[in-house]
Amino acid sequence: MNNPYLPDAYKILDIKKETQIDYTFKIAYEGALVGGQFMEISIPGVGEAPISICNYDDSSLEMTIRKVGNLTDQIFNLEKGDTLYMRGPYGNGFNLDHYRGKDVVFIAGGTGLAPIRKTIDHFVNNPDEVKNLEVLIGFKSPKDRLFIDDIDRWSEKNCVTVTVDQGDDSWTGKTGLITTHIDKLDLTNISEKIAVVVGPPIMMKFMLFELIKKGFKEKNIWVSFERKMSCGIGKCGHCKIDETYVCLEGPVFNYTTAKALID
Q: Which residues bind another protein (CB under 8 A)?
A: 1-7, 9, 42-49, 66, 68-69, 72, 83, 85, 200-202, 226-228, 230-231, 233-238, 240-243, 248, 260, 262-263
User: Measured at the alpha carbon of residue 201, what is the angle toward residues 198 and 204, in degrees to the nearest 5?
Assistant: 50
Nearer to another protein, 194 or 207 (CB): 207
Tell me how far, at minimum, the Cβ of 164 lies from another protein, in Å: 19
Tell me how far, at minimum, the Cβ of 243 lies from another protein, in Å: 4
Q: Angle of helix 148-155 relative to helix 113-125, nearest 10 degrees?
A: 30
Nearer to another protein, 130 or 258 (CB): 258
For residue 71, give the amino acid letter. Answer: L
Tell me how far, at minimum, the Cβ of 247 lies from another protein, in Å: 10
Nearer to another protein, 36 or 199 (CB): 199
For residue 50, give the amino acid letter. Answer: P
What is d(CA 33, CA 23) in angstroms, rounded to the nearest whole number? Answer: 21
Cβ-proximal residues to 193 (8 Å cutoff; 6+ apart), any chain = 102, 103, 104, 105, 186, 187, 216, 220
Nearer to another protein, 58 or 243 (CB): 243
Nearer to another protein, 86 or 151 (CB): 86
How would you label 253-263 residue by residue, b for 16+ Cβ within 10 Å and e otherwise? bebeebeebee
Tell me how far, at minimum, the Cβ of 71 lies from another protein, in Å: 9
Nearer to another protein, 153 or 259 (CB): 259
Q: What are phi and psi of 70, to 5 degrees?
A: -60, -50
Tell me how far, at minimum, the Cβ of 191 lies from another protein, in Å: 25
Tell me how far, at minimum, the Cβ of 25 lies from another protein, in Å: 16
Tell me how far, at minimum, the Cβ of 83 lies from another protein, in Å: 7
Nearer to another protein, 20 or 170 (CB): 20
What is d(CA 115, CA 146) in angstroms, rounded to the nearest whole number? Answer: 12
What is d(CA 143, CA 176) in angstroms, rounded to the nearest whole number? Answer: 15
Strand partners, 47: 43
Contacts by 176-179, CB closer than 8 A, 24 or more apart: 177/138, 177/206, 178/107, 178/109, 178/136, 178/137, 178/138, 178/203, 178/207, 179/203, 179/206, 179/207, 179/210
